[in-house]
Structure formats: C-alpha cells, structure tokens
Amino acid sequence: MDRREKPKRRTRKSKGKMIGRKLMTLILGSLIFYLAFNFGQGFYQIHQLKKELSALEQEYTELQEINNELLNEVEYLHSPEAIEKIAREKLGLIKEGEIVIMRAREAD
C-alpha cells in the first residue's frame, strides 16, 4: 500500500503543478493578448494621426497659395491702373479733358 500512496501524492503534486502551469499560461497568454491589442490600437491611432496630419499639411499649403493669390489681387486693386480701370468700367467716369462718344439707342 505504501507504493500506492506514494503515486497518489505525486499525482496530487503533479495536478497542482499542472493547474499552476495552466493558470500561469492563461495569465501570460491574456497579458500578451492585452499588450498586443493595446500596441495594435496605438499603431492604428498613430497611422490615423499621420494621415490626418498629411491632409492638414496639404490643406495648409493650398490655403497659403490662395492667400498669396488674394494678396496679389489686393495689391493690384490698390494700384493706380486698377483704380482707373474700375472707375471707367464700373462707374463710367472719365478723365478731365476727355471726350465721351456714346452710341445712340435705336428706337423700337
């Protein structure tokens, strides 16, 4: 009977070790999964932020170009040539000493 008792004790210890190993494996597996998931989310967020940054940089460049065009237009509109052109075309003004020739309207 001593022989039978000894193997039972060993199996109890072996079962305890097996349960401990399985528990440890489960804990480590869960930890690895958790870390991998968080790293995956972090890399995805970094990728999304880089895409957003790239889009914003492109939009910024386009807005700078539009701003430069508008500044050039403002500079032109403040020039004497532009002021005279607008005064003649939109307001119908003439320079002093100029003769205005107008076409007569045809009668209906």
Is the pTM here over 0.75, yes or no? no
DSSP secondary structure letters along 29-52: HHHHHHHHHHHHHHHHHHHHHHHH
Q: Domain segments of the chain: what residues?
A: 2-89
Euclidean distance between CA atoms 77 and 87, whole angstroms? 12
Looking at residue 106, its pLDDT comes to: 81
DSSP secondary structure letters along 79-102: SHHHHHHHHHHTT----TTPPP--
Question: pLDDT (tens digit, 9 = 90+) per residue, 46-68?
Answer: 999 999 999 999 999 999 999 99
Euclidean distance between CA atoms 61 and 42, whole angstroms? 28
